[in-house]
Structure 1
Amino acid sequence: MLDTVLFSPKQVQELISTGNAVFIDVRARKDFEAGHLPGAVNMPDIFTYLAETTDDGLKTLQDKFVDLFSDYGLDGKKTAIIYEDALHTRYGGSCRGYWILKYLGYPKVGILDGGLIAWKQAGGALTTETTKPERTVFPISIQPHLMATYQDVLHALTNPSVKLLDNRDKVEWLAESSSPYGVDFAPRKGRIPGAVWIEWYDFMKVSDGQASFRSKEDILELAASRGLQPDDDIIIYCFKGARAANTYVALSQAGFKKLRIYMGSWNEWSRNPELPIEGGIPKAAAPLENA
């Protein structure tokens, strides 16, 4: 397993030279066709896919991405590097790809730190040439400890040893919008009861158009302000598990060990009228000036 999660442009350039890596661009097809890393393949489904965490939903997710990653030559020996424009511009798409591969048990996966913006600022070349890897057998080994289902979240509502972290945008936390796709994209607006809130942007700092995660000390301080400690059992949710994956990477880099993502997130939760929600003024821990 790789210890490195965030690969600098220089490290990615070295991987390109080895020929033993697969670079996965999660952007829309038109953006990919306008210019991408040499040898990269395009997989926008990493960002767009809406998951369900029923047994059938998890099986569908697993089958879909095992097939896609097999198509792109991920055989367990090649390093997979996921990238987007920047860590803050596509709602955590590259981190979602990283987390999906970790959940599927892939041993060698990382993220281009700073995304394509950092790559270009470092003098990295782009190409419009396409690559067709040889299909292989993806070495699936599901890591269930990384996934939270809607049932896990429901049980957590009465289990004080599990903490829920909502990292959606402010308007979603305040129940003013149901999703980033539109105010009424999902049937209900609100929050999962008892969740604390840290907006996903707060884990990053932006300079010259590129975002990077804050220092370990800053992240620990931010998490502690909402009552979250590195040994806590934490379930992170957003709308569909992309922003949650961005925060997952930030917290894991800061030393948090018991992290799960509720991959169905608000898209799934809001569509089941039997699952409780909280609306109106937030009751959970979020400083008034940030809420």
Structure 2
Amino acid sequence: MKDKILYTPGEAMELMKTDKVMLIDIRDSDDYAESHIQGAVNLPDIFYYLAETTPEGLEKLHEHFRQQLSAIGLTPDTTAIVYEDAYDSRYGGSCRGYWLLRYLGHARTGVLDGGFSAWLEEGLPADAEPVPTTPVEFAIDPQPEMLATRDEVLNCLDKPDVKLLDIRDRVEWDAKSSSPYGVDFAPRKGRLPGARWMEWYSFLERDGQIPYFKSPDRIRALCAEYGLYPEDNIIIYCFKGARASNTYVALKEAGFQKVRNYFGSWNEWSRDPQLPANEEVFG
């Protein structure tokens, strides 16, 4: 039985009646201050932090979020449910939060399916009240099987048994923009050698105005069109690991087991001129 990742608003409400639950809002502090799920804490660094996957970079990542998660009082017996406005509002930032907390060792982590938009659509409680927290000591327990580091990706470029999946927006894959932050935010445009491309939006569909993940059957069928199968060894990348986390969740929901997130992604890779890249402009 696979771990539960997605919680509908109703499921989250029911869980809060019987278990310790912490709702984590990853939106900007101004958005949070205007309105948020009643009782939710705000942690926008989950979306904004730009990671490096060198040993030094990972040590910095671990310490940064050890402090952040300690400050909000996240304990091992608490289920963390991460949310954004909707899956397409912050490039899958809630899934980035899920992936990050699970990678850091907090097993009881999920995503609010449909985000704040779905919560409000169901008429569930929201307010603008600040939420007091009681700091604790959050213990980091990294799960390396979830992560692909820069060096691991480099070593996999010529391995046919590892499939490298680029899920950035088309303009980035085509080498016409370096990032969602701006055309020239990163020093190089292009893609990792040997990568195949699926745009991350392709795993989502709208129910009314709110995007949700497609069914597991449809995700498997879509992946098969691109030569990706549940038994494959897959490394996903985007610009900073958010869209990759969104696709990570989609693939996990569809039964893919050997999936890793290159969390440093193009932001890290493009800044080292010694690392190979295909910089041909498409289209």
CA contact (8 A) 1:22 1:73 kept: no
Q: Residue 90 of structure 1: CA displacement?
A: 0.8
Tell me if 1:157 matches 2:157.
Answer: yes
Cα RMSD (Å): 1.4
Partner of 2:25: 25
CA contact (8 A) 1:2 1:108 kept: no
Task: Supply the AA of the counterpart residue of 1:85.
Answer: D
Q: Residue 261 of structure 1: CA displacement?
A: 0.5
Q: 1:38 to 1:143 in 2, by over 3 A?
A: same
Q: Residue 18 of structure 1: CA displacement?
A: 4.1
In the alignment, the residues of structure 2 paired with residue 3 and residue 38 of structure 1 have an alpha-carbon distance, to the nearest angstrom, of: 26
Task: Supply the AA of the counterpart residue of 1:102.
Answer: R
CA contact (8 A) 1:24 1:40 kept: yes
Partner of 1:214: 214
Aligned ranges 1:100-249 → 2 under 5 Å:
100-249=100-249
In the alignment, the residues of structure 2 paired with residue 84 and residue 55 of structure 1 have an alpha-carbon distance, to the nearest angstrom, of: 30
What is the DSSP-based 3-state SS (H/G/I as helix, E as strand, rest coil) of the residue aligned with 1:134?
Answer: coil
Partner of 1:46: 46
What is the DSSP-based 3-state SS (H/G/I as helix, E as strand, rest coil) of the residue aligned with 2:206?
Answer: strand
Give 5+ residue unaligned stretches, structure 1. Answer: 283-290
Tell me if 1:264 matches 2:264.
Answer: yes
Q: Residue 89 of structure 1: CA displacement?
A: 1.4
1:188-231 Cα distance to aligned partner (Å, 9 max, x none): 00000100000000001012221110011111111111111111
Q: Residue 137 of structure 1: CA displacement?
A: 2.1
In the alignment, the residues of structure 1 paired with residue 115 and residue 221 of structure 2 have an alpha-carbon distance, to the nearest angstrom, of: 26
Partner of 1:288: none
Q: Residue 16 of structure 1: CA displacement?
A: 3.5
In the alignment, the residues of structure 1 paired with residue 104 and residue 2 of structure 2 have an alpha-carbon distance, to the nearest angstrom, of: 15
In the alignment, the residues of structure 1 paired with residue 120 and residue 44 of structure 2 have an alpha-carbon distance, to the nearest angstrom, of: 21
* Residue-pair matches, total: 283
Q: Residue 281 of structure 1: CA displacement?
A: 5.2
Give 5+ residue unaligned stretches, structure 2. Answer: none
Task: Supply the AA of the counterpart residue of 2:49.
Answer: Y
Aligned ranges 1:250-261 → 2 under 5 Å:
250-261=250-261
In the alignment, the residues of structure 2 paired with residue 228 and residue 65 of structure 1 have an alpha-carbon distance, to the nearest angstrom, of: 33
Task: Supply the AA of the counterpart residue of 2:173.
Answer: W
Task: Supply the AA of the counterpart residue of 1:74.
Answer: L
CA contact (8 A) 1:75 1:139 kept: no
Task: Supply the AA of the counterpart residue of 1:50.
Answer: L
1:218-263 Cα distance to aligned partner (Å, 9 max, x none): 1111111111111111100000000000000000000000011101
Tell me if 1:276 matches 2:276.
Answer: yes
Task: Supply the AA of the counterpart residue of 2:79.
Answer: T
What is the DSSP-based 3-state SS (H/G/I as helix, E as strand, rest coil) of the residue aligned with 1:97?
Answer: helix
CA contact (8 A) 2:190 2:281 kept: no
CA contact (8 A) 1:179 1:186 kept: yes
In the alignment, the residues of structure 2 paired with residue 38 and residue 194 of structure 1 have an alpha-carbon distance, to the nearest angstrom, of: 46
In the alignment, the residues of structure 1 paired with residue 107 and residue 265 of structure 2 have an alpha-carbon distance, to the nearest angstrom, of: 26
Q: Residue 136 of structure 1: CA displacement?
A: 1.3
Aligned ranges 1:64-83 → 2 under 5 Å:
64-83=64-83
In the alignment, the residues of structure 2 paired with residue 68 and residue 210 of structure 1 have an alpha-carbon distance, to the nearest angstrom, of: 30
Partner of 1:5: 5
In the alignment, the residues of structure 2 paired with residue 226 and residue 151 of structure 1 have an alpha-carbon distance, to the nearest angstrom, of: 25
Q: Residue 88 of structure 1: CA displacement?
A: 1.5
- Aligned-pair identity in percent equals 53
What is the DSSP-based 3-state SS (H/G/I as helix, E as strand, rest coil) of the residue aligned with 2:164?
Answer: strand
In the alignment, the residues of structure 2 paired with residue 242 and residue 184 of structure 1 have an alpha-carbon distance, to the nearest angstrom, of: 19
1:3-25 Cα distance to aligned partner (Å, 9 max, x none): 32100111111233346111100
1:146-200 Cα distance to aligned partner (Å, 9 max, x none): 1111111111111111110000000000000000000000000000010000000
Q: Residue 2 of structure 1: CA displacement?
A: 8.5
Task: Supply the AA of the counterpart residue of 2:144.
Answer: P
